[in-house]
Amino acid sequence: MDNKKINVLHIVGGKINSGAYKGASLLIKDLNNYGIDTKILCEKHSPIFLNYVRKILDKIPKLFYPNREESSFSTGLVGYNFLNHPLYKKADIIHLNWVNNGFFNISMFDKINKPIVWTIRDMWPFTGGCHYSLSCNNFEIECGKCPQLKSQKSSKKLPT
């Protein structure tokens, strides 16, 4: 029997006082009790200046919607390249937690060569940008005419 511990890397886009980080920390504590080696990769592992730049870049597309609501909307177009980080290299499983705030570029999915578990902590993974859809269900058929962004343009229908 192999006694090798499973290594799980939790990727969290929030700060250490965020709800997602706290949730991941509680899970890590429990997993460690079962002999699973777990670590968190968050913005504290990236230079402060780059964290700031990524957060700003993630918000730039919203500037094209000057009448937008003040709500949580993330593009997922920028992020931290963690593929060369020692914690990623050591990990057997990648656990995505809340990955916004300019921390995770959606194109990273194609580059992660390990099994992924994703704890969905808000609606962003399936809305296309909104963290909470509020009363809008446009993302179910076609995303566009967004009440949060106050956009008037419809997008292509999603395949059914």
Q: What's the whole-model pTM score?
A: 0.84
Tell me: the pLDDT tens digits for 92-136?
999 999 898 888 999 999 999 999 999 998 999 988 788 998 888
**Mean of per-residue pLDDT scores for the chain:** 87
pLDDT score of 160: 47
- The more confident residue out of 21 and 45 is 21
Q: Token pair of 149, please?
A: 């962004």
pLDDT score of 48: 87
Tell me: the pLDDT tens digits for 40-89?
998 888 888 888 898 889 888 888 888 887 878 888 889 999 999 999 99
C-alpha 132/C-alpha 130 separation (Å) is: 5
What sign does the dihedral 141-12-149-136 (CA atoms) show? positive
Q: Phi/psi at 118 (nearest 5 deg)?
A: -130, 115
